[in-house]
Amino acid sequence: MAVTNKPYTLIKFGDPLLRQACQRVTFPLSEETDFTIDQCINTLRHVQGFWEKRSMSIAAPQVGKLLRLFVMCDQRYWYHPKLQYKKFMTVINPEIIEASDEKCLAWEACVSENDRIALVERPKVVKVRFQSVKGVEHDLLCHGLLSRIFQHEIDHFEGKIMEDHAKKYQSTKELEDEVSFEKFRKANKDYIIEF
């Protein structure tokens, strides 16, 4: 699949498309599905505003396609200064097959919402089942940020957004300068999942 340089327009909160359920992806992948994956990667690379170079994942509905797939920065490269936005993992038809009773309250963000983050409670650990681009099925036990990413993106496939779970909000404008961000980070250290 050749990656183009043209991102889709990012669908923002308030657009009714983000409230629609998505359809399962069929195999073998169609050209349109390949193109959607390509555009998710490019859009994630080119996110503007507060989330530029801070976003870890994007779901197909956020680029206008009602398909159950998302793309995330490959977790093997989350700490790499040059490869974070060059290596990606495509997750197709994911579902949560087990969730821990223990919950985790943490600040969560979405590339479709530039203006604020939300304090969201979710299961701390989930076991997910998904398919690769070749249709191979995988089961994965997810902790920490990976657990949060899977749950957040699976919500998008059901027409849910982080606001549906929010306990509290924080304006991103108030976090733009380093001093304000560090103050927020220290005050909320128990609610921030580091990667």
Closest CA to 129 of 53, 24, 15: 24
Domain range for 162: 16-100+125-166
Q: Is 153 a catalytic residue?
A: yes
Rounded to two decimals, the pTM is: 0.90
Question: What's 137's domain CATH number?
Answer: 3.90.45.10
Is the residue at 156 inside a domain?
A: yes
Inside any domain, residue 142: yes
Question: Which one of the listed residues 95, 153, 174, 178 is annotated catalytic?
Answer: 153
Q: Is residue 174 part of a domain?
A: no
State whether the Cα torsion 6-160-72-182 is positive or negative.
positive
- Taking only the tens place, the pLDDT of each residue in 63-73 is 999 999 999 98
Overall domain count for the chain:
1
**How deeply is 166 buried, as exposed, middle or buried, from its count of CB atoms within 10 A (0-12, 13-18, 19+)?**
middle
Please check the confidence at residue 15 and state whether its pLDDT lies above 60: yes
